[in-house]
């Protein structure tokens, strides 16, 4: 249900970072004036309260989620409530609001409501909507990469153990999350020694006629060739699943009992194998730093604030072992307390991850009981606690120490980045240090599989979740026309920005990590020609507020001799040892790396779809000869020019064409 009023005036410009509903003592006072008769309401605050009051008439009485919407249609805030109507009416009070809440009310032009059956459901829906919509007044979890897991498959007679990242579409049991791929690889290697499970692919498994090297070095039981019967392998799989499910002590006791029984029965070889497996399990639990004795499965969260920034350190403990840690820097208002940020963070964190049976926190959060109830409904009984003593408290203190150190490093890096951005502003004549820099580059081989790349950088470094690739689509371009490619890329980018965030529109200025925000500086990898192409697009679209700079490579492509082209200014070079020059080089190189990687991915896809016959001069006969000689497409791609010339039917010119197809020439 929604309530909107198209006659409402636009909301005021909101330049504060996104947050929940905090106090802000350093901002302007409420838009209220007092007289002898009482309080007189004027300005946007009164308009916003009126819009909320109209929407409250249609608000449901039960639990659910509400969205506050600005004049431009963007969602400003997502909240949950036990009674939506009561919560919404609380925003219509004439006094008693903090300055931050007053700003949000003043910006609100409409509201939307979603009813849920229970308050825990509302909490989970709120987390989903915050991650999807990224409202500027909520605490935002910024996580641009997924966690790796261990997978034991269930779609094969001999299950495979493997690392997995991404959608969990394959049947099987997933264990994690692990903080890094390195932690997954280390754990899988140890589990192979302990449980002897296969790690090979199904196709490799089906085509074996003798055991592979892993069987010889006692890291696989050899189910591919019947070295272990199906029942015994199934028992190994059962033990591995039990160990990864948190029953590590039971598995170790079971193996120890079997080892003693084998020894008493004088089966010394079997006892030795069980001894080695026990040693491997001990290695899994003993090689990962701090490993608790009293905690089998838990996630530990510690929050630390300093210098207006927040760091949340997360440690993952499974099967009594430390599976690594990861630091997060959520986007939140400076006035929010550590407990408030941590509470908002938790509901979003578990939106797409399995939850352990125990969650340990450094600070008590407001909706602790409600959050535990919501998570328990999804994954079984979940306990959330703030330990005060003992080993669990030690785990929290250890995480808190890591949070302090991580935030200290982050602040130091941010300070350095800020100085570099100020140097960029001075070098290119910008009015202020840029908060969002976009860098563009193109990649292709003689016009084929052409891709444009855009990378984004700002005060916090590279923002990889904002990177974009542009597959060149225009059929009118001459193959290899770099200027035309640049025109197409920038035309598509700026046209979309004009549609989604017109310059000067109220509320269009979002956080610099928002994809729908204008850059403060555009760097073009190229000389005057590429810059002119970019300027032509800007003039055509009426974009005049975005500074553009062309970065041309130095003589003989020598790093440090880059020539910078700016409109209305003679080309110039920076001092060879200038830190700003190194910074710009890093930006340019990252754009080139991203464009090249996107081009290679597109070319690889084209090859897999069209086959070798897409290469000029290679027909069915030469394709068969190449595959007969090298075996696989990957081997052909890696082959040297001399190796290609050794293939029957491949002359020097054809070999050069094949080599050139897989290896792009040095960038010009």
Q: What is the pLDDT of residue 122?
A: 86
CA distance linking residue 401 with residue 604, whole number of Å: 45
pLDDT at position 533: 92
550 domain-assigned: yes
- Calpha distance 16→568 (Å, rounded): 34
Q: Is residue 667 part of a domain?
A: no
Report the alpha-carbon angle 342-348-354, nearest 5: 110
Domain check: are 38 and 75 in the same one? yes
Region 338-347 average pLDDT: 88
Global pTM value: 0.60
Looking at the structure, do residues 595 and 616 belong to the same domain, yes or no? no
Residue 199 per-residue DSSP state = -
| Separation of alpha carbons 362 and 497, rounded Å | 42
Question: Residue 418 domain-assigned?
Answer: no
Instruction: Out of 238-252, 479-493, 527-541, 544-558, give the one with best mean pLDDT.
Output: 527-541
3-state DSSP assignment of residue 444? strand
Per-residue pLDDT averaged across 8-18, rounded? 37
Report if residue 166 sits inside a domain: yes
Q: Does the pLDDT value for residue 273 go beyond 80?
A: no
Asked if 301 contacts 360 with a C-beta cutoff of 8 angstroms, the reply is yes
Lowest mean pLDDT segment, chosen from 11-15, 272-276, 428-432, 560-564: 11-15
- Asked if 408 and 558 touch (Cβ cutoff 8 Å), the reply is no
- 430 in a structural domain: no
Pair of tokens at residue 240 = 């591995």
Calpha distance 405→28 (Å, rounded): 34
Extract the tokens encoding 562.
Answer: 């880059």
- What's the pLDDT score for residue 176? 74
Say if residues 523 and 529 touch (Cβ distance below 8 Å): no
Asked whether residue 82 is domain-assigned, the answer is yes
User: Are 107 and 196 in the same domain?
Assistant: no
Residues 262 and 182 in one domain: yes
The whole domain housing 579 covers: 437-600
- Taking the C-alpha atoms of residue 602 and residue 471, their distance in angstroms, rounded to an integer, is 9
CATH of the domain at 27: 3.40.1440.10
- By 3-state DSSP, what share of the chain in percent is helix, strand and coil, each rounded to 5? 45, 20, 40
87 C-beta neighbours (distance < 10 Å), count: 17
- Using the predicted structure, report yes or no on whether residue 610 has a pLDDT greater than 70: no
Q: Which CATH number belongs to the domain containing residue 643 in this structure? A: 1.10.150.20
In degrees, to the nearest 5, what angle opens at C-alpha 430 toward C-alphas 427 and 432? 110
Instruction: Specify the range with the lowest mean pLDDT, choosing from 135-149, 228-242, 433-447, 582-596.
Output: 135-149
Q: What is the pLDDT of residue 513?
A: 57
Token pair 């599989």 is found at: 449
CB 379 within 8 A of CB 354: yes
- DSSP secondary-structure letter at 9? P
Mean pLDDT for the chain overall: 80
Strands in 472-526 per DSSP E: 521-525
What pLDDT is recorded for position 261?
81
Task: Give 634's pLDDT tier (boundaries 50, 70, 90).
Answer: confident
Q: How confident is the model at residue 324 (pLDDT cuts 50, 70, 90)?
A: confident
Same domain, residue pair 123 and 160: no
Q: Are residues 203 and 264 in the same domain?
A: yes
In a domain, 375, yes or no: yes
**Residues near 613 by beta carbon (within 8 Å), at least 6 away in sequence:** 619, 620, 623
Residues 578 and 443 in one domain: yes
Q: Characterize 356-371 residue by residue with b for buried, 16 or more Cβ atoms within 10 angstroms of its Cβ, and e for exposed.
A: bbbbbbbbebebbebb
Q: Give SS3 for 653.
A: helix
Q: Give the separation between CA 269 and CA 81, rounded to whole angstroms.
A: 64
- Asked if residue 578 and residue 482 are part of one domain, the reply reads yes
Whether the pLDDT of residue 74 is over 70: the answer is: yes
d(CA 399, CA 304): 10
Higher-confidence position of 617 and 15: 617
DSSP string, 267-323: -HHHHHHHHHHHHHHHHHHHSSS---SS-SSEEEEEEEEETTEEEEEEEEEETTEEE
Which of 76, 106, 133 is a domain's end point?
133
Place of tokens 């990861």: 326
* Residues 461 and 505 occupy one common structural domain: yes
Residue 533, SS3 per DSSP: helix
Q: What is the pLDDT of residue 39?
A: 43
CATH number of the structural domain spanning residue 540: 3.30.420.340
Q: Which DSSP string do the residues of 421-441 spell out, in sequence order?
A: HHHHHHHHT-SS--S-EEEEE
Domain count along the chain: 5
Please check whether residue 11 is in contact with residue 506, taking contact to mean a CB–CB distance below 8 angstroms.
yes
Residues 578 and 453 in one domain: yes
Q: How far apart are CA 616 and CA 632, in angstroms?
A: 19
pLDDT score of 360: 94
Residues 154, 126 share a domain: no
Residue 138 counted as domain residue = no
- The token pair that represents 75 in the structure block: 């969602």
Q: Give φ, ψ of 237 to 5 degrees.
A: -65, -40
Domain end marker among 102, 133, 164: 133
Q: Are residues 162 and 33 in the same domain?
A: no
Task: In whole angstroms, give the CA distance from residue 87 to residue 162.
Answer: 48
Predicted confidence at residue 43, as pLDDT, reads: 67
In whole angstroms, give the CA distance from residue 197 to residue 280.
Answer: 13
Domain stops at, among 555, 576, 600: 600
Query: How large is the average pLDDT for residues 185-193?
Result: 80
Burial tier of 630 (Cβ tally within 10 Å: 0-12, 13-18, 19+): middle
Q: Is the pLDDT of residue 621 over 90?
A: no
């Amino acid at each position: 249900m929604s309530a909107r009023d198209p006659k409402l005036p636009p909301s005021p410009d909101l330049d504060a970072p996104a947050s929940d509903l905090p106090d802000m003592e350093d901002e302007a006072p409420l838009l209220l004036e007092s007289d002898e008769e009482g309080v007189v309401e004027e300005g946007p605050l009164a308009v916003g309260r009126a819009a909320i009051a109209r929407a409250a008439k249609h608000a449901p009485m039960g639990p659910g989620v509400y969205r506050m919407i600005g004049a431009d249609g963007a969602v400003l805030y997502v909240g949950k409530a036990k009674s939506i109507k009561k919560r919404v009416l609380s925003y219509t009070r004439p006094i008693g609001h903090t300055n931050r809440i007053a700003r949000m009310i003043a910006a609100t032009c409409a509201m939307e409501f979603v009813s849920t059956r229970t308050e825990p459901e509302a909490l989970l829906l709120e987390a989903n909507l915050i991650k999807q919509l990224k409202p500027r007044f909520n605490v935002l979890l910024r996580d641009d990469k997924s966690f790796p897991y261990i997978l034991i498959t269930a779609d094969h007679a001999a299950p495979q153990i493997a690392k997995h990242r991404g959608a969990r579409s394959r049947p099987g049991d997933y264990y994690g999350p692990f903080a890094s791929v390195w932690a997954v690889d280390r754990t899988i290697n140890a589990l192979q020694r302990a449980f002897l499970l296969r790690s090979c692919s199904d196709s490799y498994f089906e085509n074996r006629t003798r055991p592979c090297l892993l069987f010889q070095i006692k890291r696989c039981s050899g189910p591919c060739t019947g070295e272990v019967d199906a029942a015994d392998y199934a028992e190994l799989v059962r033990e591995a699943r039990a160990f990864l499910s948190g029953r590590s002590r039971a598995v170790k006791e079971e193996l120890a009992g079997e080892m003693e029984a084998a020894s008493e029965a004088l089966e010394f070889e079997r006892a030795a194998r069980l001894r080695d497996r026990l040693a491997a399990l001990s290695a899994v639990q003993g090689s990962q730093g701090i490993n608790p004795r009293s905690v089998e499965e838990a996630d530990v969260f510690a929050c630390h604030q300093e210098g207006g920034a927040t760091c949340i350190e997360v440690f993952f403990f499974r099967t009594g072992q430390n599976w690594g840690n990861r630091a997060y820097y959520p986007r939140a208002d400076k006035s929010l307390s550590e407990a408030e940020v941590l509470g908002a963070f938790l509901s979003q964190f578990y939106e797409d991850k399995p939850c352990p049976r125990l969650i340990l926190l450094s600070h008590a959060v407001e909706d602790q009981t409600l959050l535990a109830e919501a998570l328990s409904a999804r994954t079984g009984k979940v306990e959330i606690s703030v330990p005060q003593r003992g080993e669990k408290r030690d785990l929290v203190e250890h995480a808190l120490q890591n949070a302090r150190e991580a935030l200290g490093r982050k602040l130091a890096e941010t300070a350095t980045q800020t100085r570099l951005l100020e140097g960029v502003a001075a070098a290119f004549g910008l009015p202020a240090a840029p908060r969002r820099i976009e860098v563009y580059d193109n990649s292709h081989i003689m016009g084929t599989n052409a891709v444009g790349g855009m990378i984004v950088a700002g005060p916090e470094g590279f923002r990889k979740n904002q990177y974009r690739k542009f597959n060149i689509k225009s059929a009118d371009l001459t193959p290899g026309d770099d200027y035309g490619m640049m025109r197409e890329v920038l035309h598509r980018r700026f046209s979309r920005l004009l549609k989604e965030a017109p310059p000067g529109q109220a509320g269009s200025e979002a956080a610099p990590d928002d994809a729908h925000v204008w850059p403060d500086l555009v760097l073009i990898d190229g000389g005057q020609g590429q810059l002119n192409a970019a300027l032509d697009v800007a003039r055509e679209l009426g974009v005049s507020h975005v500074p553009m700079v062309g970065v041309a490579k130095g003589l003989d492509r020598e790093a440090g001799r880059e020539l910078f082209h700016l409109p209305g200014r003679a080309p110039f070079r920076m001092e060879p040892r200038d830190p700003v020059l190194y910074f710009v080089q890093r930006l340019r190189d990252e754009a080139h790396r991203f464009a090249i990687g996107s081009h290679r991915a597109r070319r690889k896809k084209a090859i897999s779809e069209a086959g070798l016959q897409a290469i000029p001069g290679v027909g069915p006969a030469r394709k068969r000869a190449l595959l007969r000689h090298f075996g696989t497409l990957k081997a052909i791609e890696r082959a040297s020019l001399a190796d290609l010339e050794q293939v029957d039917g491949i002359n020097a010119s054809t070999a050069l064409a094949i080599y050139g197809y897989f290896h792009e020439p040095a960038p010009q």
